[in-house]
Amino acid sequence: MSAQTSPAEKGLNPGLMCQESYACSGTDEAIFECDECCSLQCLRCEEELHRQERLRNHERIRLKPGHVPYCDLCKGLSGHLPGVRQRAIVRCQTCKINLCLECQKRTHSGGNKRRHPVTVYNVSNLQGSLEAEEMDEETKRKKMTEKVVSFLLVDENEEVQVTNEEDFIRKLDCKPDQHLKVVSIFGNTGDGKSHTLNHTFFYGREVFKTSPTQESCTVGVWAAYDPVHKVAVIDTEGLLGATVNLSQRTRLLLKVLAISDLVIYRTHADRLHNDLFKFLGDASEAYLKHFTKELKATTARCGLDVPLSTLGPAVIIFHETVHTQLLGSDHPSEVPEKLIQDRFRKLGRFPEAFSSIHYKGTRTYNPPTDFSGLRRALEQLLENNTTRSPRHPGVIFKALKALSDRFSGEIPDDQMAHSSFFPDEYFTCSSLCLSCGVGCKNSMNHGKEGVPHEAKSRCRYSHQYDNRVYTCKACYERGEEVSVVPKTSASTDSPWMGLAKYAWSGYVIECPNCGVVYRSRQYWFGNQDPVDTVVRTEIVHVWPGTDGFLKDNNNAAQRLLDGMNFMAQSVSELSLGPTKAVTSWLTDQIAPAYWRPNSQILSCNKCATSFKDNDTKHHCRACGEGFCDGCSSKTRPVPERGWGPAPVRVCDNCYEARNVQLAITEAQVDDEGGTLIARKVGEAVQNTLGAVVTAIDIPLGLVKDAARPAYWVPDHEILHCHNCRKEFSIKLSKHHCRACGQGFCDECSHDRRAVPSRGWDHPVRVCFNCNKKPGDL
């Protein structure tokens, strides 16, 4: 690029000295201007600098007579068009810098610098060429925006109208790897928000629809891409205009504000109204309270390499007046931004969420409105990346989608707090505790992430919901908090062994770490309350739709009823009387493994006499076969079967062979041990259980309602299957899921799982949905 300079070229610009001082110490006349180095350079400095590999391809121009350099301070940031740098009008001889008119006023209008000697550049010859240059640049930029169209991003019901990132990028019509910022506009309806965006970014083209009618022309949120400034421009509904879904539409504005880097608040009022300050103040508070945490979580959840800043956007208040002066005109010593901050304080609003707040006013004596000042202010803020950096369009879409998914749903009118633009009810969970009525403090839709309901205050006890939970005291003293549930039997007991123990010694409290820590009737007298000995109590909230704390330690009634249903089926199938059906069924349930089931015993194994309905069947404790009373009236000890030294009933054949040891394997003894103990206990409590046998004569519907656990939906409220929605009839039976308590058909509840949280330690009927849940139910 460089070449030897002829003597004639020297002295063309004697006032322009080298600004690099790299090889000449700043004493030589400038010959070149390097746009990328942003400096004027003499011949020696230009050659030495651009020998370096990294600077070799810089664009340099040779200075012509009357050349005017660029301003050294502002680098054109306050220019009329983005990227067009301002030319200097003077050079300060003391500071050795070139200054445009604005920078000279800003830096050299007061103090000692006012006396610095300056050299005035002759810009009159350059004016024509600069104007032509700007005209060409503006024509080029207008052409870039000719094909821009807007699209509906979010409708008035807060539904995102873009399916995914690819669809968002396609509608914006930008490159996927293009780094963008987001500019949005807010204000009251009819204040010309769409018109402002069209003239500020798109040179007057109607990218965003405008209308002279009384009806609002912008419903929902619309977006368009400005290829000149490389920003996504978002237009919003006007405040004070919506009549339907007002709360949801207002909440939508804050979602747009949260993804924006720059916010324009457009007002056409002659004086700034309090609504402006209340809106921005309430938006700031809601942003810090509800959106900061969600933006951080979105960054982590989506694995974004560009962090979503938790500091809010910059705000420009664009104030257009006709009959009144602009803010600060009557207070020349105070900047408008300070007056705005004072106004916020007087109203008790603190907009600390915003990175900055700026005021830009224009007074329109005669239309059209001058948007050049707003455009310059926007361009300055868009160049500032210290707080909010540009990001890929996919990141912008993910942030909007995450906020829409989190903060969505209807807002009940009776919960609205009209004293604020953005009350907590817009963003927090709407669930109320059924016991004390306090609201959940978590954000909306927190259940999708597995986060349970929480409240700020403690709950009160309600007998209706029995919202008292127990924790093991021994574990608590070791630093653990383990919940325990009173239930009918220990997890190590078989179903009927557990019921037998329950009938004898009451309910149990079992800790996963400590085992059984309490039985309600462990002693004949003097049994202490578990709260005084082994457990701690806590009153907890009852939230709608949750399983609650219906511990139901007496679901033994339903467990017995489950057996009675089976028993009723046996009655109808075998045509037996109720009493014999109970005895036969109970015997089979707790019989040792080697006993022949009652259903298979049709005649005496010795005399072959057929059994009638009222005949009693007897099992030989030695061989396990069934006999009549006459063929099994003898007794003898049968220790080899685990019956101990006491004499028990045996058949005649086994009595006569009493001196012959039965050949029983060790494995058989192990298999029979558990059921044999159950049989012994069963015989001891059979009379007790027999007292409820007559319940079979009562219609089962009445018994089921009496024995129904509290968390079960009553039968008369179940009209169709909770899963497949089939309507119940005489042919389609109702079944309760032991986990959730809802009613299902057999097809939707044929799975079996233990439900220890409800006191069912052995596999019981559960629905299709509960069976899919991981971990213990």
One-letter-per-residue 3-state SS of 42-82: CHHHHHHHCCCHHHCCCCEEECCCCCCCECCCCCCCCCCCC
- Give the other-Cβ count within 10 Å of 409's Cβ: 12
pLDDT band for position 580 (cuts 50, 70, 90): low
**348-352, 408-412, 463-467, 768-772: range with lowest mean pLDDT:** 408-412
pLDDT band for position 527 (cuts 50, 70, 90): low
Question: Could you tell me how far CA 172 lies from the centroid of its own chain?
Answer: 27
Token duo for residue 76: 């054109």
Tens-place pLDDT, residues 638-651: 887 777 777 888 99
pLDDT, greater one: 213 or 416: 213
CA–CA gap between residue 715 and residue 736 (Å, rounded):
9
**179-183, 210-214, 253-257, 660-664: range with lowest mean pLDDT:** 660-664
pLDDT band for position 52 (cuts 50, 70, 90): confident
- Give the other-Cβ count within 10 Å of 178's Cβ: 16
Q: What is the pLDDT at residue 546? A: 66
Backbone angles phi, psi at 380, to 5 degrees: -65, -45
- What is the maximal distance between C-alpha atoms in the chain? 144
The string of DSSP letters for 217-272 reads: S--SEEEEEETTTTEEEEE-PPBT---SSHHHHHHHHHHHHHH-SEEEEEE--SS-
Q: What is the pLDDT at residue 134? A: 56
pLDDT, greater one: 45 or 412: 45
Residues in CB range of 598: below 8 A, 6 or more apart: 584, 585, 587, 588, 617, 626
pLDDT band for position 197 (cuts 50, 70, 90): very high
CA distances from 729 to 659, 702, 708, 712, 718 (A): 61, 18, 20, 19, 11
* SS3 (DSSP) at 432: strand
Pairing of strands 262-267, 312-321: parallel
Given a contact cutoff of 8 angstroms between Cβ atoms, the answer to whether 306 and 395 are in contact is yes
Above pLDDT 90, what percent of the chain? 7
Question: Could you tell me how far CA 442 lies from the centroid of its own chain?
Answer: 10
Rounded to 5°, the CA angle 528-530-532 comes to 75
Is the model's pLDDT at 410 over the cut of 60?
A: yes
pLDDT band for position 679 (cuts 50, 70, 90): very low
Q: What is the pLDDT at residue 213? A: 74
Where do we find the tokens 């950096």?
Answer: 389
Name the nearest CA neighbour of 757 among 715, 718, 711.
711
pLDDT, greater one: 257 or 66: 257
Q: Is the pTM for the entire model greater than 0.85? A: no
**181-190, 304-313, 427-436: range with lowest mean pLDDT:** 304-313
Token duo for residue 524: 């004949």
Identify the sign of the CA torsion 53, 58, 64, 70: negative
CA–CA gap between residue 462 and residue 1 (Å, rounded):
88
Rounded to 5°, the CA angle 573-575-576 comes to 115
CA–CA gap between residue 691 and residue 363 (Å, rounded):
95
User: Which residues are registered as beta bridge partners of 634?
Assistant: 650
**226-230, 299-303, 665-669: range with lowest mean pLDDT:** 665-669
Residues in CB range of 737: below 8 A, 6 or more apart: 744, 749, 765, 766, 767, 770
Element (H, E) at 153: strand 151-154
Q: Which own/partner contact pairs does 89-94 have at CB distance under 8 Å and 24+ positions apart?
A: 89/120, 89/121, 89/123, 90/118, 90/119, 90/120, 90/121, 91/15, 91/118, 91/119, 91/121, 92/116, 92/117, 92/118, 93/117, 93/118, 93/119
Given a contact cutoff of 8 angstroms between Cβ atoms, the answer to whether 758 and 489 are in contact is no
* pLDDT mean across residues, the chain: 75
**253-257, 373-377, 396-400, 756-760: range with lowest mean pLDDT:** 756-760
CA–CA gap between residue 232 and residue 687 (Å, rounded):
82
Is the model's pLDDT at 573 over the cut of 80?
A: no
**130-144, 203-217, 244-258, 670-684: range with lowest mean pLDDT:** 670-684
Given a contact cutoff of 8 angstroms between Cβ atoms, the answer to whether 587 and 600 are in contact is no
Name the nearest CA neighbour of 120 among 98, 145, 149.
98
Tens-place pLDDT, residues 691-717: 444 434 444 444 455 456 767 888 878
Is the model's pLDDT at 669 over the cut of 80?
A: no
As separate numbers, helices (DSSP H) first and strands (DSSP E) second, the chain gives 20, 26
Is the model's pLDDT at 677 over the cut of 60?
A: no
pLDDT band for position 297 (cuts 50, 70, 90): low
Is the model's pLDDT at 225 over the cut of 60?
A: yes
Average pLDDT rounded to a whole number, residues 468-484: 84
Q: What is the pLDDT at residue 689? A: 44
Average pLDDT rounded to a whole number, residues 111-127: 72
Task: Please compute, for residue 42, the number of CA atoms within 13 A of its CA located in the half-sphere on the CB side.
Answer: 20
CA–CA gap between residue 764 and residue 738 (Å, rounded):
7
CA dihedral 674, 675, 677, 682 (to 10 degrees): 150
End-to-end CA distance of the chain: 79
Is the model's pLDDT at 234 over the cut of 80?
A: yes
CA–CA gap between residue 141 and residue 202 (Å, rounded):
9
Rounded to 5°, the CA angle 553-558-559 comes to 85
CA–CA gap between residue 455 and residue 432 (Å, rounded):
9
pLDDT, greater one: 743 or 562: 743
Name the nearest CA neighbour of 224 among 239, 241, 206, 210.
206
**192-201, 285-294, 307-316, 381-390: range with lowest mean pLDDT:** 307-316
b vs e for 63-93, b when ≥16 Cβ sit within 10 Å of the residue's Cβ?
Answer: beeebbbbbbbbebbbbebbeebbbbbbbbe
Name the nearest CA neighbour of 255 among 84, 487, 453, 426.
426
* SS3 (DSSP) at 497: helix
User: Which residues are registered as beta bridge partners of 736?
Assistant: 743
Above pLDDT 70, what percent of the chain? 71
pLDDT, greater one: 757 or 682: 757
* SS3 (DSSP) at 641: helix
- Give the other-Cβ count within 10 Å of 609's Cβ: 13
Given a contact cutoff of 8 angstroms between Cβ atoms, the answer to whether 358 and 52 are in contact is no
Range of 132-146, 168-182, 385-399 with top mean pLDDT = 168-182
- Give the other-Cβ count within 10 Å of 366's Cβ: 5
Angle between helices 274-286 and 336-346 (to 10 degrees): 80
Burial group, residue 456, by CB count within 10 angstroms (0-12, 13-18, 19+): exposed
Helix, strand, coil tally for the chain in percent (to 5)? 35, 15, 50
Is the model's pLDDT at 7 over the cut of 50?
A: no
Q: What is the pLDDT at residue 564? A: 43
pLDDT band for position 555 (cuts 50, 70, 90): very low
Q: What is the pLDDT at residue 76? A: 45
- Give the other-Cβ count within 10 Å of 577's Cβ: 13
Q: What is the pLDDT at residue 183? A: 93
Element (H, E) at 383: helix 372-383
Residues in CB range of 525: below 8 A, 6 or more apart: none
* SS3 (DSSP) at 649: strand
Is the model's pLDDT at 333 over the cut of 60?
A: yes
**148-152, 320-324, 405-409, 623-627: range with lowest mean pLDDT:** 405-409
Q: What is the pLDDT at residue 335? A: 86
User: What structural domains and CATH numbers belong to the chain?
Assistant: 32-120 (4.10.830), 139-406 (3.40.50.300), 468-557 (no CATH), 591-658 (3.30.40.10), 711-772 (3.30.40.10)
CA–CA gap between residue 338 and residue 347 (Å, rounded):
15
pLDDT, greater one: 246 or 9: 246
Is the model's pLDDT at 192 over the cut of 70?
A: yes
Where do runs of H (alpha helix) occur along 453-516? 473-477, 495-505
Given a contact cutoff of 8 angstroms between Cβ atoms, the answer to whether 171 and 196 are in contact is no
What's the alpha-carbon Rg for the chain, to the nearest Å? 43
pLDDT band for position 667 (cuts 50, 70, 90): very low
